[in-house]
Amino acid sequence: MKRTITHLADGRELIYFDRRDDADRSAIDLRPLDPRPVASELRYDPLTEEWIAIAGHRQTRTFLPPADQCPLCPSTDERASEIPAHDYDVVVFENRFPSFSGNFGTYADVGGLSEVRPGAGRCEVMCFTSDHDSSFSRLTDSQVELVMEAWADRTAELSSIEGVEQVFCFENRGEEIGITLPHPHGQIYAYPYVTPRTKLQLGAASRRPNLFADVLAAERAAGVRVVAANELWTAFVPAAARWPYEVHVYPHRQVPDHAALSQEERAAFAPLYTSVLRALDGLFGVPMPYISAWHQAPVRWRRELGYLHLELFSIRRAPGKLKYLAGSESAMGAFVNDVTPEEAARMLRSQVDH
């Protein structure tokens, strides 16, 4: 893998990840960009003991531009985008409208028993392919491996930033999910705190040793909810799935994060994961909206308990019908799932490539 670091016109870092050593990455960004916004402010909710990022500058971010104005496509002689090069394999750059950053402003006390501090951290965009009309499910195995190497690189790099407590790699896909750019891409958040869901999971793991491994072993033994598997990974619908179509993908070896995966594990993940994504698309014959979320161990807190795994889920419950987070889910955090996990697994298995 060739790794090339450059900078955009406003000073943001951009990194190319290439398979070819002879890839030319000398193109320069000459756009007249506005100054970078100051970091969001974090406000503490004393009722839930959670931090909330207040990032008003994100209201002005680019929203569903036409394909010929996509900022994630390579630049051309006629139009400059966020990526100066005329082609790329995988590219990562600092988000122009970040939820967290190191560009601090001033942060006043707001009262209301809410502590305020800077939204320190970093937010990055990762473009999986230069092909605007592609998707993750259509990437080749070697392209997926390159994406995974980039995830490992960024996880290690962002974990070394002072104040960063957790690194989160994820993909939002589909207008139903709320994407603002349709080009195949994901994001990476470097949080200045440990997220609520991670606290819950690792709290449970602290009370039951080997919890993640036990869940994996139990699902493999039960078999009825397993969607796909190979010698190094298993994809299954969890017994207590919250979402209509939800798949968790676990490596068979406990590792804390992407940086700890072996080359063999990265290679084995690629065909299994893309087959699961294609199965989702095959359920109703339309591209399935989804969130694909990597759970990695925090940088410091209870790191020894973490078990890298992927949680993939869709809000589509039937053709033309979405699962809305209404009263019970949004107000109380109490999920009601309209599709049994066993039926979801059966339907997905029927669509998995064989």
Contact 122, 114 (CB under 8 A): no
Distance (Å, whole) CA 307 – CA 309 = 6
Contact 118, 42 (CB under 8 A): yes
Distance of CA 253 to the CA centre of its chain: 21
Contact 348, 279 (CB under 8 A): yes
Closest CA to 150 of 258, 255, 74: 258
Across 34-133, the runs of DSSP E, i.e. the strands, are 41-45, 50-54, 90-94, 116-118, 122-127
Catalytic residue among 185, 248, 295, 309: 185
Tokens of 132: 């605007």
Between CA 203 and CA 166, with CA 39 as vertex, the angle to 5 degrees is 25
Distance (Å, whole) CA 79 – CA 68 = 9
Distance of CA 41 to the CA centre of its chain: 22
**Token pair 């605007």: residue:** 132
Active site annotation includes 185: yes
Ordered DSSP codes for 122-169: EEEEEES-S-TT--GGGS-HHHHHHHHHHHHHHHHHHHTSTT--EEEE
R_g (Cα) of the chain, nearest Å: 20
Distance (Å, whole) CA 136 – CA 281 = 12
Give the catalytic positions in this structure.
185
